[in-house]
Amino acid sequence: MRDFPGPPLRYRMTIARGRVLVDLVGADGGRSRYDEEYLSVLGDGAELEPIRSIGVNRYRWALAGGRLRLTFVSTSEGKEPIGPDGAFQRALYTVGDWTRVGRR
């Protein structure tokens, strides 16, 4: 927790050049890179492959009105499908819709 920016936190996802980057942004503007994965989109499915570990995380995606909703399908990270790796994926990517806020 000491590596996180000060609360309240905002999650910021950037999708560019075949990668998904997730940063935590604190009230003071401090930013911490929280996750980085390679992205492949196949129809209504998305595969995220962690850059710093082995495995593939699968999601279904839907886009409506500038909001991206990801639904967790599976992970091959870790030994248990509903273990800590699966819980991390659910908590980070599916806890709420992602809202588009503009281009960089």
Categorize the per-residue pLDDT at 81 as very low, low, confident or very high, splitting at 50, 70 and 90: low
3-state secondary structure of 55: coil
CA-CA-CA-CA torsion sign (17, 19, 21, 91): positive
Domains and CATH numbers, the chain: 10-99 (2.40.128)
Q: How far is CA 85 from CA 5, 25, 40, 46, 102, in A?
A: 22, 22, 19, 17, 30
Kindly report the pTM of this predicted structure. 0.78
Cα dihedral: 50, 52, 55, 59 (round 10): -20
pLDDT number for residue 55? 87
For 38-78, what is each residue's pLDDT tens digit?
Answer: 999 999 999 999 998 888 999 999 998 889 999 999 888 76
The single residue listed with the structure tokens 């503009």 is 102
